[in-house]
C-alpha cells in the first residue's frame, strides 16, 4: 500500500503539472490501467482517452487552486478539493471540484473520480 506521503505528493504533482501546462507529467502519475470518471456520472475514460483529456485540459489553460490540504485516508486513497479555472466555450469559468484518487502499491493513480455538478460552475 502506498504511504500517505506518497499519495499526497502525487496529488501535489498533479496540481503542479497542470498549473505549469505539463500534460505528460500529469499523465505519468497514472497507472496504465487507470480509469477517470470526471465528473462522476459521465462515461469513464481509459488509456489514450486519459492522455487526450489532459492534453485538452492544458490546451484549455486549466489551472487548479487547492482550497484545503490534500487529505489522506487509512487506506490507498486520497482526496483533493480545489477550484479549476479554465476556458470553456469562449469564456473563463471556475468549477468547484473534489477529486478522489485510489492508488496502487507503486503510488500510481488507478482511479480518479471528480465530484462536481452544474451548480458548481460559475463564469
H/E element, 102: strand 91-103
Active site residue 38: yes
- Catalytic entry in 16, 22, 38, 99: 38
The three cell numbers of residue 95 are 468549477
Distance CA 108, CA 123 (A): 33
Cα dihedral value 38, 39, 41, 45, nearest 10: -20
- Catalytic entry in 14, 22, 52, 120: 14
Active-site positions read 14, 38
Amino acid at each position: 500500500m502506498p504511504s500517505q506521503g506518497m499519495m499526497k505528493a502525487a496529488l501535489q504533482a498533479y496540481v503542479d503539472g497542470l498549473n505549469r501546462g505539463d500534460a505528460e507529467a500529469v499523465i505519468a502519475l497514472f497507472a496504465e490501467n487507470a480509469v477517470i470518471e470526471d465528473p462522476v456520472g459521465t462515461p469513464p475514460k481509459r488509456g489514450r482517452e486519459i492522455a487526450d483529456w489532459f492534453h485538452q485540459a492544458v490546451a484549455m489553460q486549466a489551472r487548479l487552486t487547492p482550497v484545503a490540504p490534500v487529505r489522506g485516508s487509512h487506506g490507498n486513497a486520497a482526496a483533493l478539493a480545489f477550484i479549476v479555472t479554465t476556458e470553456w466555450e469562449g469564456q473563463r469559468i471556475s468549477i468547484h471540484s473534489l477529486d478522489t484518487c485510489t492508488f496502487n502499491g507503486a503510488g500510481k493513480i488507478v482511479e480518479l473520480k471528480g465530484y462536481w455538478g452544474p451548480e458548481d460552475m460559475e463564469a
